[in-house]
Structure 1
Amino acid sequence: MQIKTLLNTVENFKSFVYKAVSFEVINGRKALVADIKPRVNAKPECSVCGKRASGYDTQPSRLYEYPPLWGFQVFFRYSPRRAACPVDGIHVERIPWSEGKEQMTTTYKVFLSRWAKRLSWKETAEIFKSSWDSVYRAVQFVVAYGLAHRDLENITEIGIDEIQVWSGHKYLTLVYQLDSHAKRLLWSGPERKAKTLLKFFMELGRERCLRIKFVCSDMWSPYLKVIAKKASQALNILDRFHIMKKFNEAIDQIRREEVKKLKDEGTDNVLEKSRWLLLKRPENLTEKQTVRLSQIVKINLSSIKAYLMREDFQRFWEYKYPAYADRFLENWITRTLKTNLEPMKKVAKMLRNHKQLILNWFKADGRLSSGTVEGFNLKAKLTMRKAYGYKSLECLQTALYHTLGNLPEPILTHRFCG
């Protein structure tokens, strides 16, 4: 089979024909170059209005990179014509395999973007003898197309969270769709301020906001205020993961203070290397860790008291009815406030201040799982590592939409990468 026949099978362009296909040296490497010519009597298409117009002149030939064949880079070579449009004037013609002055074909950009989901952008560039910037442009193109063509209807469940993107408390607010029929990254915005989340709701539109039934979020006050204002009809459920995270932070603070105290007193430090024994769930401990924990809990230490208080609170999530859960929660808060463990008392006050939102978890019948949001966040952090070399927040957002957005791609006649 001739290469021309192969190209006509996978990429046939109306009004254009493949001419000679030959090996040439491009940028110091042997590559396949396919010459493309317009069909006889085929007029150029105006790049502004899309209508056919008389040809004005022909520009010097350009190379457009295409997906590789058998390890060889492939290029289309074409001399663009300028169309003399009676409405829009003289413009370079619209060509079906590329856009504007882009030197990569649309097919090649989609090809690179698919590989960039599997590999880091740097690895993708190295394997296909491209550059990091070219991979970024490819992903950027596919993401822009996807955002413009995605379906934003039937959004009823969302999760809101933030991730730290750079040192120095730089954050990115992330909004996920959590519906059973569509789980994806919906939106991202810099910082974690009220105006950040407000922008999401404004872009989503009033009608779509009114269709939201459930919102899963953490206890960040600016988020809660915006949710109450823009999605007041929705049930706001506080994220179970973030609630238990507050417990772990309190336990760790007590443990660190107690370790220092024991060290200063010269007492045998039984809490040494015990951090993860106290922070992990019992079912996640190894056999060796379980044995050691069973020994430590027999000792009258503040760290152990805090640990047992957390384990006692875990029963809260097992209740079926809000009224019984409320009674348990109030009882736990009252008992905790009578202790001398200040970090745990701080947790108890937090629970009381947000009690109604916490109890919403039962009203929603547990249908929103915080694990879904945390799963997305873990993937987001992995994406950040895979896209190392990103030079701006916009670049990072592009990478996140690409990986987590479940976006539609440009329609191609042939799929080079599944």
Structure 2
Amino acid sequence: MSDMSIKPYFPFCRVRFERQSVSPEGDLARIKARPDARFRPMCQVCRAPAHGVHSKTRRALRDLHMGAATVWINCEYRKVYCSCCQGARVEDLFFFSPYQRVTKRLARYIHDLCKVLTVSEVARHLDLDWKTVKDNDKVFQEDEFGATDYNGLRILAVDKITIQKGHKYMTVVLDYESGRVVWLVRDRKADTLRFFFKGMTEEQKKALEAVAMDMWDPFIKVIDKVRIAEKKKAETTELEVYKGAKYLLLKNRRNIRTAAARAHLQRLLDMNENISKAMILKDYLKRIWSYSRRGWAQKRMDEWCALARTMDNQDVTKFADMLERHPYGILNHCDYPIHTSKLEGVNNKIKVIKRKAYGFHDQRYFSLKVIQFFHSN
């Protein structure tokens, strides 16, 4: 008689295995198990010894493959009375969690696979529903990255990323020095960031020295408003020049690659004085960030604001007023020459993560996946 046993492959000390069956093709194995009577039942929630059995039931649990065979464990378990929890609870057999349909070790395997594969790829590989895969991976993600890690933060970078059409954004907070994504949450409002800082202790807030934020978007909108206003005033014969000019005006000139595009831009600038002035202001504004002394930067910013007002354009004047009200954003750059280019690279990687998975229906899960990616890279 053979002494071989499957017990070593199932080191679950609080259960006994009664029988097994394997399909003729060898691709499906079913194992029947029940609680080991030598152990007193234990509450799944508080781990306290139970004082009585409420009822018995069974559950089919997927386990790790054994060779080519898909393994199902049909396990009996008890609901017990727990005096600590003051009610009936599922007993703790240690190898599965309440309301889960997979064993803990299979759940861990799913989580490990999700680090390198998409949810749909893992689901196909294990022949599981994609929601089961996602939910199991999310449990591990919440345990490891669910709480925001504020430790060691000195310099931050903050930006937004588009997640859906229709102006749907998420706010990204990056540890500028380590490249770690600290926080990723829906919306880009002031209250969104207040919620982030609310989670910090006073000591952690005092440790922050600088935050890099993109001020370029507001001026990009100003340039586009100037273009639209000038287009409305243009004669019919000039309208052709304005077509396709939006992104030519917003790009840096060195990024305009083709000769046709450069000629198109030059024709527009030669034809319209106000648009030409707006482009000059755009190039002049970028130079202010090259100064390392606050006095020189302040002087050049005052000159820029005075020059901007000569355009006699309401939108440009409003932007100049905004700069004068908040000069510290630029002047602080003299002390901390940081910028959001590092965050732009991070945003591109985040888009790749989203595109690889064909989008994420669960934004919380998406945030956790991004934080995990940058934590391990």
**Shorter-chain TM-score range:** 0.7 to 0.9
Change (3 A) 1:280 1:68: farther
What are the superposed Cα offsets for residues 323-375 of structure 1, whole Å, 9 maximum, x if unpaired? Answer: 222222211111111123443333322222221122112222x2x43123334
Amino acid at match of 1:143: Q
2:198 corresponds, among 176, 197, 202, to 202
SS class of match (1:94): coil
SS class of match (1:317): helix
Following the alignment from structure 1 to structure 2, what is the Cα–Cα distance between the partners of residues 3 and 358?
72
SS class of match (2:22): strand
Residue 183 of structure 1 and its aligned partner are, at CA, apart by: 0.9
Matched, 1:188 2:185: yes
Change (3 A) 1:384 1:87: same
Amino acid at match of 2:208: I
SS class of match (2:62): strand
Determine if contact 1:380/1:400 at 8 Å carries over to the other structure: no
Higher mean Cα deviation, 279-288 or 77-86? 77-86
Following the alignment from structure 2 to structure 1, what is the Cα–Cα distance between the partners of residues 324 and 258?
36
Amino acid at match of 1:372: K
Q: Which residue of 1 aligns with 2:22?
A: 23
Task: Give the total of aligned pairs.
Answer: 370
Following the alignment from structure 2 to structure 1, what is the Cα–Cα distance between the partners of residues 100 and 23?
21
For 1:47-126, what aligned pairs fall within 5 Å after superposition?
A: 47-52=44-49, 56=53, 59-68=56-65, 73-82=70-79, 91-116=89-114, 120-126=118-124
Following the alignment from structure 1 to structure 2, what is the Cα–Cα distance between the partners of residues 352 and 23?
78
Q: Percent identity at matched positions?
A: 20
Change (3 A) 1:60 1:376: same
SS class of match (2:182): strand
Residue 266 of structure 1 and its aligned partner are, at CA, apart by: 1.9
Residue 247 of structure 1 and its aligned partner are, at CA, apart by: 2.6
Determine if contact 1:150/1:408 at 8 Å carries over to the other structure: no
Determine if contact 2:141/2:369 at 8 Å carries over to the other structure: yes
Residue 52 of structure 1 and its aligned partner are, at CA, apart by: 4.9
Q: Which residue of 2 aligns with 1:413?
A: none
Determine if contact 2:34/2:77 at 8 Å carries over to the other structure: no
Q: Which residue of 1 aligns with 2:138?
A: 140
Matched, 1:248 2:215: no
Following the alignment from structure 1 to structure 2, what is the Cα–Cα distance between the partners of residues 300 and 6?
83
For 1:316-395, what aligned pairs fall within 5 Å after superposition?
A: 316-364=288-336, 366=337, 368-381=338-351, 386=357, 388=359, 390=361, 395=362
Following the alignment from structure 1 to structure 2, what is the Cα–Cα distance between the partners of residues 278 and 212?
36
1:404 corresponds, among 363, 371, 374, to 371
Following the alignment from structure 1 to structure 2, what is the Cα–Cα distance between the partners of residues 183 and 388?
22
Amino acid at match of 2:202: R
Following the alignment from structure 1 to structure 2, what is the Cα–Cα distance between the partners of residues 376 and 159?
11
Determine if contact 1:139/1:399 at 8 Å carries over to the other structure: no
Determine if contact 1:31/1:74 at 8 Å carries over to the other structure: yes
Determine if contact 1:117/1:403 at 8 Å carries over to the other structure: no
Amino acid at match of 1:343: D
Higher mean Cα deviation, 313-322 or 294-303? 294-303
Amino acid at match of 2:77: P
Gaps (5+ residues) in structure 2? none
Residue 139 of structure 1 and its aligned partner are, at CA, apart by: 3.2
Amino acid at match of 1:288: A
TM-score for the superposition, normalised by structure 1: 0.72
Gaps (5+ residues) in structure 1? 217-238, 410-418
Residue 307 of structure 1 and its aligned partner are, at CA, apart by: 2.0
Residue 94 of structure 1 and its aligned partner are, at CA, apart by: 1.2
Following the alignment from structure 2 to structure 1, what is the Cα–Cα distance between the partners of residues 13 and 176?
41
Change (3 A) 1:108 1:157: farther
What are the superposed Cα offsets for residues 186-205 of structure 1, whole Å, 9 maximum, x if unpaired? Answer: 353667253x4433333333
Amino acid at match of 1:45: M
Change (3 A) 1:110 1:331: farther
Following the alignment from structure 1 to structure 2, what is the Cα–Cα distance between the partners of residues 150 and 360?
27
Residue 37 of structure 1 and its aligned partner are, at CA, apart by: 5.2
Higher mean Cα deviation, 163-172 or 278-287? 163-172
Q: Which residue of 2 aligns with 1:211?
A: 207
Change (3 A) 1:298 1:250: closer
1:278 corresponds, among 249, 267, 273, to 249
Q: Which has the higher contact order (CA 8 A, sep 6+)?
A: 1
Residue 65 of structure 1 and its aligned partner are, at CA, apart by: 2.0
Amino acid at match of 1:286: R
What are the superposed Cα offsets for residues 261-284 of structure 1, whole Å, 9 maximum, x if unpaired? Answer: 43x432373343233322222332
Change (3 A) 1:160 1:71: farther
Change (3 A) 1:22 1:292: farther
Q: What RMSD over aligned residues (CA atoms) do the two structures have, in Å?
A: 3.9
Change (3 A) 1:397 1:48: closer
Following the alignment from structure 1 to structure 2, what is the Cα–Cα distance between the partners of residues 408 and 282?
36
Determine if contact 1:47/1:91 at 8 Å carries over to the other structure: yes
SS class of match (1:79): strand
Determine if contact 1:171/1:192 at 8 Å carries over to the other structure: no
SS class of match (2:57): coil
Residue 406 of structure 1 and its aligned partner are, at CA, apart by: 5.5
Residue 127 of structure 1 and its aligned partner are, at CA, apart by: 4.5
TM-score for the superposition, normalised by structure 2: 0.79
Change (3 A) 1:190 1:20: farther
Following the alignment from structure 1 to structure 2, what is the Cα–Cα distance between the partners of residues 318 and 407?
30
Q: Which residue of 1 aligns with 2:284?
A: 312
